[in-house]
């Protein structure tokens, strides 16, 4: 057993639901107890879908346990077919049904329903939501896609976008435009808005664009093997990645590389003097592997930040993320326990967090600005406006989103110059955060909590401690850390005012 409050991912059948809900003409019969229908509201509320997810729950109850649950499953499957007349069905068990061992796949096969019925085997006690989505799409593709003649002109499939995906809706539009500019059209986008019939046509395209490895990699690998379709390895998030993606597509297809960057603003915005203050901002990244890897490159190479830590919650991406962390000279954090993430953030004291909904809460608690780069996300990150992460417009969106939570350059100077100003005390917060400003705390208030660190053997002398407090709150964590590291490296046990300023000079940038 493992005690948990937050989970970054739901159970695997929620992943299957994400695939089913993304598609049309597919129905999911889920052997599950009363109550598991809660998952419906992820789609109707968070994603604000205007229809019910295409899923029938068998809703067994305590009194059905025993022989009756099997009949319940058959009745539900038959009723679902009769009512919705889907082109194909997927059947499977949720965590509780997995324990009662009714074998939905076998039962559905016996029923001889007049449409393809695909059984899902999703181990609820080992795997999680992303695996569920990846495996479901893989099983659908494996059962439905067949080798066929390629289309006359060059086409691609878009693989991976699902329901409840972070910005999947708009990424599809953006990637479709990137390809069209190169004269490549989209054959099938799956699972988002695809029908089972569409999946039978997957084989007609010349190659696959793997948009999200978490939810599409197994399907792409199968198609590479069975349908002889290469797939792209670069996820086009950020300017550099988008250019690499275009080059990769050109190489696969033999088309001329072409990128219409007339609307691309990130490079100039980032180069303009207004952005100089972003240089070396210390950021911590956490989320799913794909978005973290992409964000790390944008952060370092396109925004000029310093990546002080990164990690992901999905073990499936642990290997590439560890390799990436090595490149960045930091230690990777692979965990699905948000307390570990919180502890790492506290240790690193970054100036900004790029993460998920959970990191936003952690940032709020620690007073560190945060922007969201990855699922899981709440309703506000399914925006009405066009806001992709991928491609040209994606880069523009990323620039705005990441800069917004930071204290602006001029404000930063003013805060520093007038640090004793009654309006610019620690609790006032950044002016644009919209919090009601709190009055300045009385002097000689309780000590602020010391961030946990390895340098606990070092003591701060009063003068130095006082001076440290004059440093604006959003850089104080870094100053404290740097000074302690500086002192530790020199074998000092006390930090005086001089040590503080020597450390400042040492780390000047």
Partner 1 sequence: MTDDSAPLPAAGCRDAPVLKQRGQHEVFCGLTGIIWLHRKMQDAFFLVVGSRTCAHLLQSAAGVMIFAEPRFGTAILEETDLAGLADAQVELEREVARLLERRKDIRQLFLVGSCPSEVIKLDLARAAEKLSLQHAPHVRVLNYSGSGIETTFTEGEDACLASMVPVLPDTDERQLLVVGALPDVVEDQMLDLLSKMGIDNVKVLPARRADSTLAVGPNTSFILTQPFLGGTLAALGKRGARHIPAPFPFGEEGTTAWLRAVAMEFGVDITLFDTVTHAPRARAKKAISQASEKLDGKSVFFFPDSQLEIPLARFLTRECGMTAIEVGAPYIHKGVVGPDLDLLEEGPTLSEGQDVEMQLDRCRAAQPDLTVCGLGLANPLEAEGLATKWAIELVFTPVHFYEQAGDLAGLFSRPLNRRAKLRLEAAE
Interface contacts to partner 1, rule CB under 8 A:
1-7, 9-11, 13-14, 33-42, 44-45, 48-52, 56-62, 64-65, 76, 79, 83, 94-96, 99-100, 124-126, 128, 361, 364-365, 378
Q: How many CA atoms within 13 Å lie on the side-chain side of 215?
A: 31
CB atoms within 10 A of CB 164: 25
Query: Catalytic residue at 274?
Result: yes
Q: Least Å distance between CB 429 and partner 1?
A: 18
CB atoms within 10 A of CB 22: 27
- The smaller minimum CB distance to partner 1, of residues 40 and 426, is found at 40
Query: DSSP letter string over 46-112?
Result: IS--SS--SEEE--B-GGGTTTHHHHHHHHHHHHHHHHH--SEEEEEE-HHHHHHT--HHHHHHHHT
Q: Which has the closest alpha carbon to 243: 297, 284, 202, 203?
A: 297
Token duo for residue 235: 């996820």
Q: 150 in helix, strand or coil? A: coil
- The smaller minimum CB distance to partner 1, of residues 49 and 419, is found at 49
Q: Which has the closest alpha carbon to 393: 177, 156, 116?
A: 177
- The smaller minimum CB distance to partner 1, of residues 132 and 213, is found at 132
Token duo for residue 105: 């796949």
Q: Least Å distance between CB 167 and partner 1?
A: 20
Angle at 483 between CA 479 and CA 489, to 5 degrees: 145
Q: Least Å distance between CB 365 and partner 1?
A: 7
Q: 196 in helix, strand or coil? A: helix
- The smaller minimum CB distance to partner 1, of residues 36 and 135, is found at 36
Q: Least Å distance between CB 18 and partner 1?
A: 13
- The smaller minimum CB distance to partner 1, of residues 101 and 262, is found at 101
Which positions ≥6 away from 365 have C-beta within 8 Å?
A: 342
Q: Least Å distance between CB 58 and partner 1?
A: 7
- The smaller minimum CB distance to partner 1, of residues 14 and 317, is found at 14
Burial of 348 (0-12, 13-18, 19+ CB in 10 A): buried
CA distance 85 to 236: 38
CA distance 382 to 28: 24
Q: Which has the closest alpha carbon to 350: 374, 338, 366?
A: 366
Burial of 355 (0-12, 13-18, 19+ CB in 10 A): buried
Angle at 310 between CA 364 and CA 503, to 5 degrees: 80
Classify the C-alpha dihedral 163-165-166-167 as positive or negative: negative
Q: Least Å distance between CB 57 and partner 1?
A: 5
- The smaller minimum CB distance to partner 1, of residues 52 and 233, is found at 52
Residue tagged active-site, from 68, 121, 228, 274:
274
- The smaller minimum CB distance to partner 1, of residues 28 and 460, is found at 28
Token duo for residue 142: 């494996």
Q: Least Å distance between CB 366 and partner 1?
A: 12
Q: Least Å distance between CB 12 and partner 1?
A: 9
Task: Give the residue numbers marked as catalytic.
Answer: 274
């Amino acid at each position: 057993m493992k005690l948990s409050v937050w989970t970054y991912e739901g159970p695997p059948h929620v992943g299957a639901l994400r695939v089913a809900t993304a598609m049309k003409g597919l129905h999911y019969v889920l052997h599950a107890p009363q109550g598991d229908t809660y998952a419906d509201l992820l789609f109707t509320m968070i994603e604000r879908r205007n229809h019910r997810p295409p899923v029938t729950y068998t809703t067994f109850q305590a009194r059905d346990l025993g022989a009756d649950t099997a009949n319940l499953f058959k009745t539900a499957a038959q009723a679902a077919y009769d009512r919705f007349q889907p082109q194909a069905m997927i059947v499977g068990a949720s965590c509780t049904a997995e324990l009662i061992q009714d074998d939905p796949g076998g039962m559905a096969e016996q029923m001889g329903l007049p449409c393809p019925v695909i059984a899902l085997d999703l181990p609820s006690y080992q795997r999680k939501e992303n695996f569920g989505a990846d495996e479901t799409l893989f099983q659908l593709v494996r059962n439905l896609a067949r080798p066929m003649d390629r289309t006359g002109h060059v086409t691609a499939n878009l693989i991976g976008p699902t329901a409840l995906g972070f910005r999947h809706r708009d990424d599809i539009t953006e990637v479709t435009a990137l390809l069209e500019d190169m004269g490549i059209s989209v054959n099938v986008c799956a699972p988002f808005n695809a029908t089972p019939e569409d999946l039978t046509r997957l084989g007609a395209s010349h190659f696959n664009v793997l948009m999200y490895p978490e939810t599409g990699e197994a399907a792409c690998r199968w198609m590479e093997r069975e349908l002889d379709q290469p797939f792209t390895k670069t996820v086009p998030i950020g300017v550099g990645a988008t250019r690499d993606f275009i080059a990769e597509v050109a190489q696969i297809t033999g088309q001329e590389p072409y990128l219409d960057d007339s609307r691309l603003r990130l490079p100039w915005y980032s180069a303009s003097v207004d952005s100089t203050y972003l240089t070396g901002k210390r950021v911590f990244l956490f989320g799913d592997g794909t978005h973290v890897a992409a964000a790390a490159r944008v952060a370092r190479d396109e925004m000029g930040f310093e990546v002080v830590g990164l990690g992901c919650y999905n073990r499936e991406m642990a290997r590439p993320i560890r390799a990436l962390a090595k490149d960045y000279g930091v230690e990777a954090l692979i965990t699905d326990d948000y307390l570990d993430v919180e502890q790492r953030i506290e240790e690193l004291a970054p100036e900004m967090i790029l993460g998920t909904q959970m990191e936003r809460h952690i940032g709020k608690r620690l007073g560190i600005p945060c922007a969201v780069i990855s699922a899981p996300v709440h309703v506000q990150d399914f925006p009405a406006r066009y806001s992709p992460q991928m491609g040209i417009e994606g880069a523009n969106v990323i620039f705005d989103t990441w800069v917004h939570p930071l204290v602006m350059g001029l404000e930063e100077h003013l805060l520093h110059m007038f640090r004793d100003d009654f309006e610019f005390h620690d609790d006032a917060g950044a002016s644009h955060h919209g919090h009601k400003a709190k009055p300045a705390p009385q002097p000689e208030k309780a000590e602020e909590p010391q961030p946990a660190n390895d340098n606990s053997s070092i003591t701060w002398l009063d003068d130095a401690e006082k001076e440290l407090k004059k440093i604006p709150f959003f850089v104080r964590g870094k100053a404290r850390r740097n000074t302690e590291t500086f002192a530790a490296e020199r074998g000092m046990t006390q930090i005086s005012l001089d040590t503080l300023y020597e450390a400042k000079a040492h780390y000047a940038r």
